[in-house]
Amino acid sequence: MAVYNLTVPISEEEIRKLHVGDTATLNGVIVTGRDAAHKFLVENFIHGDASKASPEDRKVYERLRELLKGGVLYHCGPIVGQREDGSYYFVAAGPTTSIREEPYEADVIEHFGMRGVIGKGGMGPKTLEALGKCGAVYFHAVGGAASLIAQSVKEVLEVHKLELGVPEAFWVIRVENFPVAVTMDAHGNSVHGVVEEKSEKVLEQLVAA
């Protein structure tokens, strides 16, 4: 197990050095996105007809293409405050349960050329396959530490699709020393898969007893 200090955007070479069990601190610009955000991207652009999207939505999409190439998407529904000057800040920034995005994530990773996803609880086999294919990893963030994680968010740079609601919008944030652990890597390894297998075996033993 090793400790890494990574700056976003991250190269594929750097990502393929990471293995399950490694820890890292992330620095740079990342983007938040949950259920509605993933659905918006997949239905309107990745598998949808982009020509039918509004000019405003196309601008959002093009901006996200810039931000997510070599970038990191954070499954997070933040609590956000607003200052008198109109600028935003994160009050709490805890991770959302990632498995909810399993139907979408592989397509999003491949389409945008992402290098990482942050969340909690891990993801499924479709996402794991995409991590290996595209050179990306799943970073686990500590659940229940939303206020602590928010301290790593130094600046809110932009927000897109705020009409989806504060938790569902794309928040573009600059982070410093954001603590994460690699729990799914680009080599086909997943801590979450191992835990699930062990749990199923224990359950089978209990049922058979």
Which positions are annotated as active-site residues? 38
Instruction: Print the SS3 string covering the chain.
Output: CCEEEEEECCCHHHHCCCCCCCEEEEEEEEEECCHHHHHHHHHHHHCCCHHHCCHHHHHHHHHHHHHHCCCEEECECCEEEECCCCCEEEEECCECEHHHHHHHHHHHHHHHCCCEEEEECCCCHHHHHHHHHHCCEEEECCCCCHHHHHCCEEEEEEEECHHHCCCCCEEEEEEEEEEEEEEECCCCCEHHHHHHHHHHHHHHHHHHC
Return the bridge partners of 81, or none. Answer: 89
